[in-house]
Structure 1
Amino acid sequence: MYGPIGSHKQFVSHEQKTAATKIPKVNKMLNVENKSVIIIGCGVGGTALAARLASRGFTVDVYEKNEHSGGRLSLLHANGHRFDQGPSLYLMPRLFEETFDDLDENLSDHIELMQCERNYSVYFGDGDRCELSCNFAKMYNEIKRYEGESEKTLVNFMNFMKETHVHYERSIEIALKNNYEHWYNEFQLKHVPNAFRLHLWSTVYGSVKKFFNTEKMRQAFSFQTMYIGMSPYDTPALFNLLQYTEIAEGVFYPRGGFHKVIEALEKIATKKFGAKFHYNSNIKKIIVDEDNVAKGVQFDDGRKEYADIVVCNADLVYAYNNLLPETKYGRKLGKHAALTSSSISFYWGLSKQVLELDVHNVFLAKDYKASFDNVFQQQILSDDPFFYVNVPSRIDATAAPEGKDTVVLLLPVSHISANNHDCIDKWVKRARHRCIQILENRLGIKDFESLIETEIINDPRSWESKFNLWKGAILGMSHSIPQVLHYRPSIRCEQFKNLYFVGASAHPGTGVPIVLCGAKLAEQQILKDYGFIERGHDDIIIISQYLLFGLTMTALFLAIYYFFFF
């Protein structure tokens, strides 16, 4: 039913291979002259970057406020149950492999991946259920139940896969493999066709609507935006790459929990390359001198540590407003940045297995659009919510005691705002009652609450306090068009020298595989800035293209003017 898988090398295209060879391999240590790096936070971005920089010969120290690694990717344990505190869907596998390849390691030597037989069980608002799968025959048969037996159903599905494939491949090439230091890096003539191929002016739901006629299939192929903390009615269409990777590559789970990714990267960073990780080390501020150069960090106890380079893996908006000197840019982010959703997450240890639940389950609302609008527009708790349920013990028996189940229920809610900060306790109580009621009704089981023998809860306030997430937004800044590529906060801080960012709110964005790409881009940026690899002549070429285009347009205008008026 479920089992381990091998390498994903077959997914790596020529474009990715070419992009992956832009910097030297790690076995070619650079002469970094004992340059030191302090990394604040050991989430997946900070940990991956620690391994990368240590592999180059930098002296790397990572400081983490909590007693454990991983940030949102950490684990919770209670009464024999193991809970993934945050991410539970292992997607875009080749990006994980690339990180380990760059460190001269095989991912399969560190992590045992198990592929889910079904991607999801999706429960619609009327109680109907469908299964999403990476098995093409099963997926097509499921679609036919709703869309009909005609040839058009198959053609539409294939066209959907074709468009989302383009979104997936082009997004990796353009957004995840390239840094955007300057505005002109983004606005290049070669990118003009991509603006149309990526359907930047459409939404995920609007795009899906072109290929599916029934409302249920439109919902089944658009709810995935909840994993980047956005509504399908607002998310740019290119993000239906999420549906593509689930169908084309599958959904996986690391045996022992998602935290195994962090554990493997930390082990490589420390045992192989000599990086040092320090826990229970809460940083009060980043030390900046009178020339606006980051020099080190100061801890709660007053102790100071200095380094040549400072990298912040803490929440970016939080850092600008709490760790750094006040700036106009920081105030702007704190007040006006568009944020992703937060969540009320219930971690339940059940006294017995509930076999009606699959590994991944999605419960959608009767009024699909209103349920998203309540979260992202009105910022209220809906009486008819949508939510996601993960049962890791269904695929990994080590997640729960024998004969029992470990369940994580994630209910998206608004981040903390003036509309809701006084009513979160009421939200938690209402959400728990309503979600249990929906589970009982749609699964056809009675007294689900009596099965709960262990319970831990995270809400927007605990996300904020545990991990310094600004306003409790669990995925940082959103991916609206004004907050991607050049418009997203850059990896290299523009306000303070020698300071870099890696993580969900920095370029290229949120999500574990995306942040892993961000760590690689941060490595490249640091190596370029300190002259360890050549910067190349890209900027000169781009500016020359602009000048040539301007001269051509000027000559054309003059020619037309002369033709008509002389």
Structure 2
Amino acid sequence: MPNAIVIGAGIGGIATALRLNKIGYDVTVLEANSYPGGKLYTKDVHGYRFDLGPSLFTMPHLVDELFTLFDIDPKSFFEYSKKEVICNYFWEDGTTFSANGDSDVFIKEAAKTFGESESHLKSYVNSNTKKYDLTSSLFLEKSLHKASTYLSVDTIKAILQIGKLDVDITLNALNEKTFQSAKLVQLFNRFATYNGSSPYQTPGIMSMIPHLEMNYGTFFPKGGMVQISKSLYELAVRQGVTFKFNEKVNHIKVEQNKAIGVASTKRDYMADITVSNMDIFPTYKNLLQDQSHPTKVLEQERSSSALIFYWGISREFPELDLHNIFFSENYQEEFSAIFEKRTIFKDPTVYINITSKEEKVDAPEGHENWFVMINVPGNYGQDWEQLKTEARIHIISKINKILGVDIEPLIMAEHILDPIGIERDTSSYRGSLYGAASNSKFAAFLRHPNFSNSIKNLYFCGGSVHPGGGIPLCLLSAKIVGDLVPKV
């Protein structure tokens, strides 16, 4: 049986291991950390449980699909429930809006709250769906770097209707052209952050991102987000995939332009197929030092990172749900600070995720576990201790103002994760959450492909390569690799 090595047990690495196992490879996954999941991990802080990484779960069928590949009922490993409310939005002038998961209800309630035409909203939502339908097979499900992709019927359809994709206008310009309400523009601009980009730079085609929430829905996994990686890891072990933790890969072995295995901190491994789930930048800089590097790809602008405060809160807030957004009063200045000045804006948009709304055991009775996050630049050598101190003050001030509360005395436990910690724990270059940013219409084509053009038998998966970051796209990257690798 031919064998494969997967470097990294992030969600993309585990999914790739499963797909390679299914097509006949003996798969070994090498992971530098002591646990599987990469960013999808968990931490207990004085009795409060937190998911450390991604907090939004969409497109659960991509997880289910990995179980059905092996004729296993996903529910025997993994369960989830659909959310009625996608997110609660708050502004400092007292405006609030609960985004319903039913698109018809969303349209009706948004039109009423923001004084917009229902027909404009419906047209916008339908346009987003069409963009997704036209481009998903090209940009998400296949390699952008294979000629066969461009010969498909789906690609020809997309090219013929390129004028409808809004690639020559920014997301913000599209939203301002569509809506009169500045608040509704801000709400839809927020979706640029789903791939770590700026709505003032990323193209309007990114307006298709809300389609994933409004048409597929948002979900909560029983046991928290960590159950996604945990259940897939358990499935992989059951199928015979070997995992070796606390074993860092130092080098990908290449002979005669062919990957032949890896050297780890413990031993050398020979392999017929090698897949890196590691961020593409350190993959080249650390593991392929003696090979030519795709300089243009590696020098792309990195996505935003995150500063996260994990707070145990000693009371419950009925006005909050699983997902909550407290908007900045000056969104454009916030993104200018992140991407141009590489600092934290003094009035950041605050995202609060509270899993104890769904899983009571995640916090003591009468308490809540707050995952409090703001978008920040990657690590470029800033004084993060000072930035964290200042950001904490500004975050608390915004929460106090919007909720009419003094939150500081209610914080019973605290853990902080910054871009330095994200880079340290996940090898994500500069602590970026999504690899390269999508701040140009060519960004998708500049992402590294899922295979090497110069080294045979070497493949790449995960959030820093095509099709991008986030759980669904990482799972799709694994699917693309599975389709590219020769079947046994």
Taking structure 1 as the reference length, what is the TM-score of the superposition? 0.81
Name the residue aligned to 2:200.
Answer: 233
Give the percent of matched residue pairs that are identical in Structure 1 and Structure 2.
29
The answer to whether structure 1 residue 456 and structure 2 residue 419 are counterparts is no
Q: What does residue 431 of structure 2 align with?
A: 472
1:357-382 superposed Cα distances (whole Å, 9 cap, x missing partner) = 22111111111211111112221211
Residue of structure 2 in register with 1:563 after alignment: none
SS of residue paired to 1:481: coil
Q: CA RMSD in A?
A: 2.0
| Displacement of 1:491 | 0.8
2:268 to 304, 313, 318: 304
Q: Deviations 1:486-543 (Å, cap 9, x if unpaired)?
A: x32111112322111001121111111111111111011002xxx65xxxxxxxxxxx
In the other structure, the counterpart of 1:277 is 243
Higher relative contact order, chain-length normalized (CA < 8 Å, sep 6+): 2
Residue among 338, 342, 345 paired with 1:382? 345
Instruction: Note the alpha carbon deviations across 1:35-89, whole angstroms, 9 max, x for none.
Output: 0101000111110111111122211000111111110111112222221111111
Pairing partner for 1:398 from 351, 361, 372: 361
1:265 to 232, 235, 246: 232
- Pairing 1:445–2:405 present: yes
In 1, distance between residues paired with 2:194 and 2:416? 19
Q: Which runs of 5+ in 2 are unaligned?
A: none
Deviations 1:345-400, CA, capped at 9 Å, x for gaps = 11112223233322111111111211111112221211111121100101221322
Q: CA deviation at 1:189?
A: 4.8
Note the C-alpha offset of 1:183. 5.7
Structure 1 307/327 Cα, relative in aligned 2: closer, same or farther at 3 Å?
closer
Q: Which of 24, 27, 30 is 1:57 aligned to?
A: 24
Other-structure match for 1:94: 61
1:293 maps onto 2:258 in alignment: yes
- Residue 209 (structure 1) aligned to one of 169, 176, 190: 176
Contact kept, 8 Å, 1:362 with 1:386, in 2: the verdict is: yes
Match among 345, 367, 370 for residue 308 of structure 2: 345
Indicate if the aligned counterparts of 2:30 and 2:243 stay in contact, CA closer than 8 A: yes
1:509 aligns with 2:472: no
Aligned residues: 484
Mapped partners of 1:184, 1:111: distance in 2? 35
CA distance in 2: counterparts of 1:422 and 1:478, whole angstroms:
19
Name the counterpart of 1:499: 458
1:68 aligns with 2:35: yes
Shift of 1:331: 4.4
| 1:315 CA displacement | 0.7
Q: Say whether 1:249 aligns with 2:213.
A: no
Letter in 2 for 1:516: L
Task: Answer yes or no: is 1:522 the counterpart of 2:481.
Answer: yes
Return the offset for 1:128.
2.2
Q: Judge conservation of contact 2:297–2:447 (CA < 8 Å) in 1.
A: no
Aligned counterparts, 1:146-161, within 5 A: 146-148=113-115, 153-161=117-125
| C-alpha separation in 1, matches of 2:279 and 2:114 | 43
Distance in 1 of aligned mates of 2:269 and 2:137: 38
CA contact 2:83–2:101 (8 Å) conserved in 1: no
Distance 2:62 2:203 in 1: 22
Kindly tell me: are residues 169 and 93 of structure 1, through their superposed partners in 2, closer, same or farther at Cα, counting changes over 3 Å? farther
Measure how far apart 1:343 and its partner are.
0.9
Displacement after TM superposition at 1:125 (Å): 4.2
Does 1:357 pair with 2:320? yes
Instruction: Name which one, 1 or 2, has greater alpha-carbon Rg.
Output: 1
Q: In the alignment, does 2:335 pair up with 1:372?
A: yes
8 Å CA contact 2:304–2:378 kept in 1: the answer is: yes
1:166 aligned onto 2:130: yes
Q: 2: CA distance between counterparts of 1:463 and 1:436?
A: 23
2:100, 2:48 → 1: CA distance?
27
Cα deviation for residue 147 of structure 1 reads 4.1
8 Å Cα contact 2:134-2:158 kept in structure 1: no
- Aligned pairs for 1:412-431 (under 5 A) are 412-417=375-380, 421-431=381-391
C-alpha distance in 2, partners of 1:227/1:408?
17
Look up the SS of the partner of 1:508 in the other structure: coil
CA contact (8 A) 1:321 1:331 kept: no
Q: Distance in 2 between matches of 1:99 and 1:326?
A: 36
Amino acid at match of 2:303: T
Question: Residues 478 and 184 of structure 1: is their aligned pair in 2 closer, same or farther, counting only changes over 3 Å?
Answer: farther
Counterpart-to-counterpart distance in 1, 2:157 and 2:317: 53
Residue 125 to residue 493, structure 1, CA distance change in 2 (3 Å): farther
- 1:162 counterpart SS class: helix
Alignment of 1:101-120 (within 5 A): 101-120=68-87
Find the counterpart in structure 2 of residue 482 from structure 1.
Answer: 442
Measured after TM superposition, the shift of residue 178 of structure 1 is 1.6
TM-score, structure 2 as length reference: 0.94
Whether 1:128 and 2:95 are equivalent positions in the alignment is yes
Instruction: Render the CA deviation track for 1:90-137: whole Å, top value 9, x for unaligned.
Output: 112333333333333333332221222311111124342222111345
1:191 Cα shift?
Answer: 4.0
Bigger mean CA offset, 255-264 vs 91-100 = 91-100
Which consecutive unaligned segments of at least 5 residues does structure 1 have? 1-33, 533-566
Quote the Cα distance in structure 2 between the aligned partners of 1:318 and 1:347: 28
Paired amino acid for 2:335: F
Change (3 A) 1:138 1:191: closer
